[in-house]
Amino acid sequence: MLEKVIPTKIYLQESELPKSWYNINAVMKDKHAPALNPITKKPVTFEELSQILCDELAKQELNMTDEYIPIPEEVQEFYKMVRPSPLTRAYFLEKVLDTPAEIYYKFEGNNTSGSHKLNSAIAQAYYAKKQGLTSLTTETGAGQWGTALSMACAFYGLDLTVYMVKSSAEQKPFRKAIIETYGGKVIPSPSNTTKVGREILEAFPNTGGSLGCAVSEATEKALNTPNCRYVLGSVQDHVILHQSIIGLETKVALDKYGIEPDMFISCVGGGSNFGGFIAPFVKDKIEGKAKYKIIGVEPASCPSMTRGKYAYDFGDTGKITPLLKMCTLGSGFMPSTNHAGGLRYHGMNPIVSKLYHDGYIDAVAVEQTKVFEAAVMFAKSEGILPAPESSHTIREVVDQALKCKETGEKKTIVFCLTGTGFFDLAAYSAYNNNTMSDYIPTDAELQKGFDTLPKID
Amino acid sequence: MLEKVIPTKIYLQESELPKSWYNINAVMKDKHAPALNPITKKPVTFEELSQILCDELAKQELNMTDEYIPIPEEVQEFYKMVRPSPLTRAYFLEKVLDTPAEIYYKFEGNNTSGSHKLNSAIAQAYYAKKQGLTSLTTETGAGQWGTALSMACAFYGLDLTVYMVKSSAEQKPFRKAIIETYGGKVIPSPSNTTKVGREILEAFPNTGGSLGCAVSEATEKALNTPNCRYVLGSVQDHVILHQSIIGLETKVALDKYGIEPDMFISCVGGGSNFGGFIAPFVKDKIEGKAKYKIIGVEPASCPSMTRGKYAYDFGDTGKITPLLKMCTLGSGFMPSTNHAGGLRYHGMNPIVSKLYHDGYIDAVAVEQTKVFEAAVMFAKSEGILPAPESSHTIREVVDQALKCKETGEKKTIVFCLTGTGFFDLAAYSAYNNNTMSDYIPTDAELQKGFDTLPKID
């Protein structure tokens, strides 16, 4: 039955919460190309993958057939503590923009990790515990994932080592503090705790590190530690599977109130929130039944979709991880140091990449100062200080809403507000003080990244 | 009709949200003594009060008769954006404590200001705007109030000057950054922008400032600025009135599910969250109908209830504000520099003070390291990093729950979790690194504060 009065914030009842995750791979007509063993160049097997990942996660990563995958009851209980997230009508933003557009946002930042990352972190820690593992390793850039996983590991009593991109660890002492409060051990990367870290330090003694390098260190550390696995917060299909909780809740809320979106918008870095947010809306898109648009928003400074190649590439600088067919700038691409927040990974999740390549979804790139302009407008009107990542989305939403103002169209826009900016106030200060700059890589600069692509295809 | 299944998080429907605030003063059999003009020592009149406060707030401050005061529709609309706050069953904390007690918490930290302070800030900014004022001044200590008011002023397009206790401004650069992001101007106090500030600086050139001193500066500044008023985030009765939204929502949720609490617990600094949280539960207590206990929790380092005097005192160091009859340590009392977070004010709201003095509510004092121990336990089990202020409450809740474990009693505990600790990670780091210390003032030290009390009674 359709509910009549739509509240400003839609909170689902507990009985309406999803009991299964949604696996986009099952409904892809053309599946994305398989991950390859970086040495043999053959599709990775479960046996190979489970040396790095937990068994259940390796299984999920390779699952191309089951549309719904049950959420373990213990994870459902945890979700009840930190979820559902509200779907909020942005009445005040609409008013400030004076737009006929109707804007809704699914806010994933109302948990201590400050972002959607907790949705997957708790699932991954659960599977690790169930497998009898005692410790995990991971990497973190902006720090959202490291915080989320540290919370999840504290909950299940697992040891955690977080390789945190060195420049980020230095700029964000409080990110480090919160990870440590939850018991995680933070190691600025590159470090001398791994072979790959020592090699990078020798070649580039003053480097601030990169996500690709931190991935290499975390992977190496996991491989050399008993009862330990590497877990990661984006890029992989199983992460998108867990993040589908975002889209599934959104769909229940939209259907309950008969809201029919014209577009879904969210930011893309490795693709985790975006893939999860759009998950239940992809099938209709593939089958040509949907009239809505799906738009991914990326930073102009790290444009893996709008300006990347669709090719096999390494996930890490050290070239240890499986090769993925994806939109990529090359594992040697280094994002500009003036770039704030996350969304700085060279590649893109294979599902999202394939959907983009096949024309089912769109992508746009936005510039940093315009992103923060939208962020501050949103903060003042909607009362939430958005994360820089989420603010990319807001920029595009604002632009779409302003287009509606010009044309008079009353479009319905639904976006995912992935997180809060509590740990990004140095970037906000830079914006406030007019010391923030933009950066768009030249074609020549991008070419240097492309030159690091392996020759597979 | 009683709902059967109690969800982990109770979110009220929009139609269930309170449309009026609750005024405790109206149901007090013995009213608290009136505020006095600091010069004439006679009860302050509306005319006098409205020179400092907005008209409507001055009226509310003096309202001793209306039990319910309507919430303006515009404020209700804003509340719909940032509220309701959830009432959450602390299943996981109960499990960790292995207690038969049932624990619920009303979480007020899920907004960008990070605390309950926004409930009153938006109301105060609304009334200021309606009165045609163009700017406001205030003080902030830990920064929660300054952030909340800056958000509220941004929403209504009002200029704001925040006198921030200097030591706090230096320790919390990101608090300053978020206030500035919302457009507020932050002045570390004491400053040379006011007479009282210059005097204090001359007498104590190296002082880190105090809340009492910042109050004096903000008040002086407001008095000397056209179309400007001073607003404050605690201690005053009208602030407690606005904060009654917390208690009212809690009551609707408890009644809806037939939950019958044995005790209500929250932290007390100036009394704003505590007074608002307990507001609708006081009447039954006064009339002897309630079986529940109401407990305020204060820091052992600033024990205005458990070790203070019940007497008339100044609200500020500069002795500009009206005299209030309250539990106080004396306006000359300076909290220890090792004290983290808020709850550092020398006095206590007159309603709360009177209720305590008359024996309707209880108070306990807790020590800092034990507070952070409870905070980390809560963060790990319930997935929310609590503010230091709120963690005082958690300490007492944990102690009560452990008592239940000893006695086997299945008590129902409801507490107010006022805010998040995102801006207090320096304090968490100190706790993690074992460099945090406790401090209990000696009787002789307290006497120095009492010596600054005016002779009125």
B56 in A contact zone (CB under 8 Å): no
Cα separations in angstroms, A58 against A55, A61, A274, B345: 5, 5, 21, 55
Cα separations in angstroms, B61 against B53, B56, B246, B455: 9, 9, 19, 24
Which pLDDT score, from 0 to 100, does residue B3 have? 67
Hey, are the CB atoms on A385 and B181 less than 8 Å from each other?
Answer: yes
Which pLDDT score, from 0 to 100, does residue B409 have? 97
| CA separation for the pair B31, B28 (Å, rounded) | 5
Residue A25 is given by DSSP the state G
Interface list for B 190-209 with A (CB within 8 A)? none
Q: Which residue has the tokens 């029919």?
A: A260
Contact B431, B376 (CB under 8 A): yes
DSSP per-residue string spanning A231-300 = --SSSSHHHHHHHHHHHHHHHHHHHHHT---SEEEEE-SSSHHHHHHHHHHHHHHHTT----EEEEEEET
Interface list for B 137-176 with A (CB within 8 A)? 151, 154-155, 173-174
B177 in A contact zone (CB under 8 Å): yes
Hey, are the CB atoms on B383 and A82 less than 8 Å from each other?
Answer: yes
DSSP per-residue string spanning A117-164 = THHHHHHHHHHHHHTT--EEEEEESSSHHHHHHHHHHHHHT-EEEEEE
Nearest CA in chain A to B180: A432
Phi, psi for A107 (deg, rounded to 5): -100, 115
Contact B286, B360 (CB under 8 A): yes
Short-list A360, A179, A366, CA closest to A268: A366
- pLDDT grade, residue A167 (50/70/90)? confident
| CA separation for the pair A266, B206 (Å, rounded) | 49
Percent of chain A with pLDDT over 90: 89
Contact A312, A283 (CB under 8 A): no
Which pLDDT score, from 0 to 100, does residue A3 have? 67
| CA separation for the pair A391, A394 (Å, rounded) | 5
Q: Which residue has the tokens 């909780």?
A: A245
Q: Which residue in the set B14, B155, B177 is minimally distant from A380, CB to CB? A: B155
Which positions ≥6 away from A255 have C-beta within 8 Å? none
Hey, are the CB atoms on B118 and A383 less than 8 Å from each other?
Answer: yes
Rounded (5°) CA angle B348-B351-B357: 80
B183 in A contact zone (CB under 8 Å): yes
Rounded (5°) CA angle A437-A443-A448: 100
Instruction: Please give, one letter per residue, the 3-state secondary structure of A324-376.
Output: EEEEECCCCCCCCCCCCCCCCCCCCCHHHHHHHHCCCCEEEEECHHHHHHHHH
Find which of B95, B181, B256 to mutate to test the A interface (most A CBs within 10 Å of its CB): B181
| Chain B residues with CB-CB distance to A108 below 8 A | none
Which pLDDT score, from 0 to 100, does residue B207 have? 87
For residue A457, is pLDDT > 60? no
Interface list for B 88-107 with A (CB within 8 A)? 88, 91-92
* Other beta carbons within 10 Å of B16: 12
Please give the distance of CA A240 from its chain centroid, rounded to a whole number.
8
| Chain A residues with CB-CB distance to B15 below 8 A | 5
Instruction: Please give, one letter per residue, the 3-state secondary structure of B268-324.
Output: CCCCHHHHHHHHHHHHHHHCCCCCCEEEEEEECCCCCCCCCEEEEECCCCCCCCCEE
B14 in A contact zone (CB under 8 Å): yes
Instruction: Please give, one letter per residue, the 3-state secondary structure of A53-104.
Output: CCHHHHHHHHCCCCCEEECCHHHHHHHHHHCCCCEEECHHHHHHHCCCCEEE
> Distance (Å) from the C-alpha of residue A432 to the closest C-alpha of chain B?
7
Q: Which residue in the set B13, B111, B383 is minimally distant from A111, CB to CB? A: B383
> Distance (Å) from the C-alpha of residue B169 to the closest C-alpha of chain A?
14
Nearest CA in chain A to B376: A181
Which pLDDT score, from 0 to 100, does residue B37 have? 94
DSSP β-bridge partners for residue A299: A366
Percent of chain A with pLDDT over 70: 99
Interface list for B 408-447 with A (CB within 8 A)? 420, 422-423, 425-426, 428-429, 432
| CA separation for the pair A103, B383 (Å, rounded) | 29
DSSP per-residue string spanning B114-126 = -BTTHHHHHHHHH
Please give the distance of CA A199 from its chain centroid, rounded to a whole number.
29
* Other beta carbons within 10 Å of A48: 17
The tens digit of pLDDT for each residue in A174-205 reads 999 999 999 999 999 999 999 999 999 999 99
Which pLDDT score, from 0 to 100, does residue A211 have? 84
| Chain B residues with CB-CB distance to A385 below 8 A | 112, 178, 181
Query: What value does the mean pLDDT take over residues A358-368?
Result: 97
Contact A397, A413 (CB under 8 A): yes
Instruction: State chain A's mean pLDDT as an integer.
Output: 95
DSSP β-bridge partners for residue A186: A162
Q: Is the peptide bond before B84 cis (omega within 30 degrees of 0)?
A: yes
Which pLDDT score, from 0 to 100, does residue B457 have? 57
Which pLDDT score, from 0 to 100, does residue B1 have? 58
**Helices and strands counted in chain A (H then E):** 17, 15
Residue B363 is given by DSSP the state E
Hey, are the CB atoms on B80 and A429 less than 8 Å from each other?
Answer: no
Q: Which residue in the set A15, A80, A181 is minimally distant from B8, CB to CB? A: A80
Angle between helices B272-286 and B350-357 (to 10 degrees): 40
Half-sphere exposure of B53 (CA within 13 A, CB side): 25
Q: Which residue has the tokens 């997230």?
A: A85
Residue B98 is given by DSSP the state T
| Chain B residues with CB-CB distance to A429 below 8 A | 173, 177, 180-181
Short-list B324, B421, B318, CA closest to B37: B324
Residue B165's H or E segment, with its range, is: strand B159-165
Biggest distance spanned by C-alpha atoms of chain B:
65
Specify which of A163-177, A309-323, A401-415 reaches the highest per-range mean pLDDT.
Answer: A401-415
| CA separation for the pair A85, A109 (Å, rounded) | 8
Hey, are the CB atoms on A432 and B13 less than 8 Å from each other?
Answer: no
Q: Which residue has the tokens 């958005």?
A: A386
Radius of gyration of chain A (CA): 20
B87: helix, coil or strand? strand
> Distance (Å) from the C-alpha of residue A431 to the closest C-alpha of chain B?
9
| Chain B residues with CB-CB distance to A432 below 8 A | 177, 180-181
B180 in A contact zone (CB under 8 Å): yes
Contact A281, A247 (CB under 8 A): yes
Hey, are the CB atoms on A423 and B422 less than 8 Å from each other?
Answer: yes
The identity of residue A239, as a single letter, is V
| CA separation for the pair B282, B280 (Å, rounded) | 6
DSSP β-bridge partners for residue A275: none
Contact A453, A308 (CB under 8 A): no
| Chain A residues with CB-CB distance to B151 below 8 A | 379-380, 383
Q: Would the CA dihedral through A42, A45, A48, A50 be positive or negative?
A: positive
The count of residues in chain B is: 457
The tens digit of pLDDT for each residue in A259-299 reads 999 999 999 999 999 999 999 999 999 999 999 999 999 99
Hey, are the CB atoms on B432 and A91 less than 8 Å from each other?
Answer: no
Angle between helices B173-181 and A425-432 (to 10 degrees): 50
Nearest CA in chain B to A6: B14
Residues of chain B falling short of pLDDT 50: none
Radius of gyration of chain B (CA): 20
Hey, are the CB atoms on B177 and A77 less than 8 Å from each other?
Answer: no
> Distance (Å) from the C-alpha of residue A167 to the closest C-alpha of chain B?
18
Q: Which residue has the tokens 């302070």?
A: B117
